[in-house]
Structure 1
Amino acid sequence: MVTMLLPLLAVAQAASMPFVSPAFGDHMVLQRDLSAPIWGWTNPGAKVTVSVAGKTVTTVAAPDGKWMARLPAMPAGGPYDVRVEGPKRVVLRDVLFGDVWICSGQSNMEQGIAIAKNPEEEIANASHPKIRLFMTERRYSLNPEPVPQGEWKVCTPQTVAEGGWGGFSAVAYYFGRELQREVKVPIGLIQTCWGGTPAEAWTSAEALAKMPDFAALLRQLAELRADREKALANRQRALETLIATADQGTKESWQTQPDGPAWKPVARPTFEGNGLDEFDGFAWFRATVKVPEALAGREAFLQLGAIDDQDTVWINGRLVGSTEGWSLPRRYALPKGLLKAGENVLTVRVLDTMGAGGLTAEPSSMFVDVDGQRLALENWRMRPSSKLPANFALPPAGPEDQNSPTVLFNAMIHPWLPYGIKGAIWYQGESNAGRAYQYRTLLPTMIRDWRSRWGVGKFPFLIVQLANFMQRQPAPGDDAWAELREAQNIAAKVVGNAAVAVIIDAGDAQDIHPKDKQTVGKRLALAALRVAYGRKGPYLSPEYRSMTVRDGKAILTFAECGSGLVARNGAPRGFAIAGADRKWHWAQAEILGPNKIAVWSPDVPNPVAVRYAWASNPLCNVYSAEGLPLSPFRTDDWPMITGPKR
């Protein structure tokens, strides 16, 4: 009986799937000079033919109903009609052959052209019939998904500005525009990105299984697939245990204690900008709400907007509610009798597990609503509490959490396999900065896995180095964002056929989403010309190669210097130097020639190590003569603040 049912089940499953995958459609770009695959689903054993430009290939659907045909390699050109015939008939029109790029990462890849720099002019000039766009809809899944959600569109002022977070990815668009101008072939851009997400979410379970760091999380995801209700209960218990055992404020019941000197005034109740930029753990916030006599004692609602990541809220020491989920707006009901006339104290305990933290909404979105009257939250204070324990790993929240390992690979990468591509661009890392040492292994693991699964060889992989961001630090020292940039550089080296686009001069101290995406796209395109198209020229940023010490000075040698190193606006800045005591001092520097710089300090007579631009937002000014910034680096291998302790 089971043997008889299996073919029937396959037929039923195939019938529910599209005859041609949504990865293929009108206006698409297929990869030139490659036997580009096309696939879909139909009756098991059914014959399917695919025709283009007078060439036809035939295939037969597998027992599960999936069919795949590989077209003969075609040169750049078009437009063509692609005809797919079998039990159904589909004609895909206005198809071009050119170069297809996967554009992935987190929010800085997702940020649309309409909310980036100079949007009106850029959108008005975005008529590029040889550039085609596919915006993959944001989805997550515990299991690999077969089809992407979205459609191919011709690049026009309308299509670049619609959908997503401010339209199509500005980085991807500017990259594609620059590239199309240079190589003069059609360009297909597949946007598949999601703000705030870590690299492990974009990596397959099989690849992560090679990293012991993720063993516990992968087991928990397996439990979630098997018994979701039980797994979520385990997560809740783990969260409650973490709060009870790890948070000093909870142990000491700060919600019932009066203010003291430990509570510092803050302009906004966030981790960033208040000395907790690289802090993952617990912080407590307080505000005052003044209630008129006429409104005292009434039922009300507390609006706090989104809080990153988990919050517990008290008013006048009485528990109001708790929510988990960094993007969820908070709205708590306040019972009758809670609000008193005069000053009321709001206390919010925030647990941040990665990236940004705190009450991230605009101040105007945070208030108490009493019968339609909005009462402002004033006089915000903050009291830092406890860092997350070492090796912290909260069980996944489930399919509702796009940050869980594997879930974005499953829903937003797997459906594209094995679409013919030229390469990939990747702008991500902010959400992994607190684990930069781990990223040295994680990013190469992801890249190798993608390459293996795509089946088009060691395709070019271009990485955007993190931009400058946050308050500038007065003294040299260690920094998590600098360590993440180093991890990105290491990843590019170890996987090969990869490059890093350095944008240490294109960020914004006040905005983690800098609006200058033109510079990012242009530098990615330059890197592509070298890595993907084999052009010789000054397309990459200068990078550190070696150091010698002579007469109390460190003599540094660099590669990829183009026509030579230059310093903008005065002498070279951004260098720090240390001796055997490992104490860092700002250094003087002089460019000695096209690829050498001398670095010294009277405070370090015997230098042993040099760092450059080693900060979240460094003051640095060394470039190649062609205008590409020197990549941040360090010559030492001393312990990292994100690495294992030695």
Structure 2
Amino acid sequence: MKVPLLLWLLTSCVLSSRANIRLPKVLSSNMVLQQQSQVKLWGWADPGERISITTSWNQQVYTVTTAGDAGWITTIITPAAGGPYSITLKGKNTIELQNILLGEVWVCSGQSNMEMCGNWGLKDIKAIQPTAYNSNIRFFKIAKTTAAHPQDDVTAQWATCDSAALNTFSAVGYFFGRKLNEQLNVPIGLIDASWGGTAAEVWTPDSIISNNPVLKEAATHILPNGMCPHLAGVAWNAMLAPVTSYTIAGAIWYQGENNTGTAATYRLLFTAMIDAWRNAWHQSFPFYFVQIAPFNYREKNTGALLREAQQQSMQHPNTGMIVTTDITGNVYDVHPANKHDVGYRLANWALGETYHRQGFIYRNPLFKEMMIRKDKVIISFEHAQQGLLIKGDSLTEVFIAGNDRQFYPARATVKNNALVVWSNEVKQPVAVRYAFSNTAIGNLFSKNGLPVAPFRTDHWEVPTK
């Protein structure tokens, strides 16, 4: 019996489409692959299809056979930074990926302060746009979407850094990548997965939260607001899980504002999220994050407690935190406009810790210990070897208390790289707090120019109502 021509054509098209090698969006022309690494390539084709992969930097041929579920994955070796190169994949069809660079790849994630871009009207982006073109910086901006289960692909494409791309790409991510590119002189690939208004729960695999009673209960306090997701794991499933096979150098994170109401459990949540990311990527990559800036939150002290939880999270391996108490002059705007200092400070962490470059100051002074000498308290700090300085006539936002736990405004002076604090109202001091409130903008700095992180020496219950 003769097969009708139309049916034959339809059948041929179906067979042809099923036979084609397919790749996830993150594996495409213009991408940046992590240099000097074992990099994964993966995709889909007909079960049993044999695929050959040729890399132009050494003409080496790799082969892989598609599994029964139509998926395939293999590993290639990348040399030192360079390019542009190409990768050719041949099976029943041929795909040639072109204009590929080898360099350093970083994920940029979080909520609105990470998402902010040229379209938000940022002056520091508008100023740089006329000269922004840089073929050695590439962006992969992942579209906002959610899913109940981990997905295998995202909506995004690799783009070269230029004035148009900066309209939609993370400003913090750009300034971070720009400094790395300038200092390391290698291509930089940046993956932007950010969404304003999101809590950390939505970026954490749901299994992490549902299997922990403390986190599960805290997640019930993250309520929908109509502008962003609130269910655990849904942004992770759709925006990050699909790219976890893509080898990266590390991650930067700017988030926390939407978790101030659950500050008491944020450290547990945040460090569990970091571990979940590293487990999914099968990499113990560095994770550098931003301490949230001063802002007039609705509930008293919740911002201070969230910042404290962030600082405590630095005890987690291979993490680092930058302080931002000095970058906002408006505590009624949760979005500080200064994004270049945030990006550069994060880059300094990476340059100093990840890339072991000398001369970059990146560690903010942190409270170390206190000693009581009669009616005075002497505060010492980590990372203040070059000394401290007070910007202005006197130290602001410093308070002292006795056993009655009543805090009074205090006076302070710098002496021998330590802070001496006292008040005529407190003859027998037991505790000191500095910049420990939602809106406090401190004026104590290292002589290297970095602000001292907010701190308290007590462990008393902090009122939030």
The two structures have a TM-score, normalised by structure 1, of 0.66
Partner deviation per Cα, 1:261-303 (whole Å, 9 max, x = no partner): xxxxxxxxxxxxxxxxxxx99xxxxxxxxxxxxxxxxxxxxxx
Ranges in structure 1 where 5+ consecutive residues have no aligned partner: 1-10, 162-166, 221-279, 282-308, 310-323, 328-400
The answer to whether 1:188 aligns with 2:189 is yes
Q: 1:422 to 1:641 in 2, by over 3 A?
A: farther
The answer to whether 1:521 aligns with 2:343 is yes
SS of the equivalent of 1:118 reads helix
- Name segments (4+ residues, structure 1) moved above 3 Å: 14-18, 213-218, 640-643
Partner deviation per Cα, 1:331-350 (whole Å, 9 max, x = no partner): xxxxxxxxxxxxxxxxxxxx
Question: Residue 466 of structure 1 is aligned with which of 272, 281, 292?
Answer: 292
Give the 5 Å matches for 1:262-301: none
The answer to whether 1:430 aligns with 2:257 is yes
Question: Residue 115 of structure 2 is aligned with which of 110, 117, 133?
Answer: 110
Q: 1:425 to 1:16 in 2, by over 3 A?
A: farther
SS of the equivalent of 1:628 reads coil
Give 2:327's aligned residue: 506
Aligned AA (1:598): V
Aligned AA (2:163): P
Which one has the largest radius of gyration?
1
Aligned AA (1:198): A
Question: Residue 59 of structure 1 is aligned with which of 64, 88, 94?
Answer: 64
Distance 1:612 1:536 in 2: 31
User: How much does 1:403 deviate?
Assistant: 1.5
Give the 5 Å matches for 1:113-192: 113-114=118-119, 115-161=121-167, 167-192=168-193
SS of the equivalent of 1:36 reads strand
The two structures have a TM-score, normalised by structure 2, of 0.91
The answer to whether 1:591 aligns with 2:414 is yes
Distance 1:592 1:101 in 2: 41
Question: Residue 550 of structure 1 is aligned with which of 348, 355, 373?
Answer: 373
Q: 1:505 to 1:464 in 2, by over 3 A?
A: same
Q: 1:203 to 1:552 in 2, by over 3 A?
A: same
Aligned-residue RMSD, C-alpha: 2.5
Give 1:326's aligned residue: 226
Give 1:164's aligned residue: none
Give the 5 Å matches for 1:213-362: 213-215=214-216, 325-327=225-227
User: How much does 1:586 deviate?
Assistant: 1.3
User: How much does 1:116 deviate?
Assistant: 1.4
Give 2:10's aligned residue: none
Distance 2:337 2:161 in 1: 21
The answer to whether 1:25 aligns with 2:28 is yes
8 Å contact from structure 2 (residues 395, 443) kept in 1: yes
Distance 1:48 1:78 in 2: 24
User: How much does 1:571 deviate?
Assistant: 2.4
Partner deviation per Cα, 1:553-583 (whole Å, 9 max, x = no partner): 1111111125221111222222111111111
User: How much does 1:442 deviate?
Assistant: 0.3
Give the 5 Å matches for 1:604-615: 604-615=426-437
Question: Residue 624 of structure 1 is aligned with which of 446, 459, 462?
Answer: 446
Give 2:45's aligned residue: 42
Distance 2:464 2:68 in 1: 49
Question: Residue 572 of structure 1 is aligned with which of 383, 395, 406?
Answer: 395
Q: 1:16 to 1:504 in 2, by over 3 A?
A: farther
Give 1:405's aligned residue: 232
Aligned AA (1:429): G
Q: 1:49 to 1:541 in 2, by over 3 A?
A: same
User: How much does 1:536 deviate?
Assistant: 4.6
Ranges in structure 2 where 5+ consecutive residues have no aligned partner: 1-13
Partner deviation per Cα, 1:145-172 (whole Å, 9 max, x = no partner): 10011000010112212xxxxx211111
8 Å contact from structure 2 (residues 125, 171) kept in 1: no
Partner deviation per Cα, 1:576-633 (whole Å, 9 max, x = no partner): 111111111111111112x311111111111111111111221310111121111111
8 Å contact from structure 1 (residues 572, 591) kept in 2: no
Distance 1:50 1:642 in 2: 59
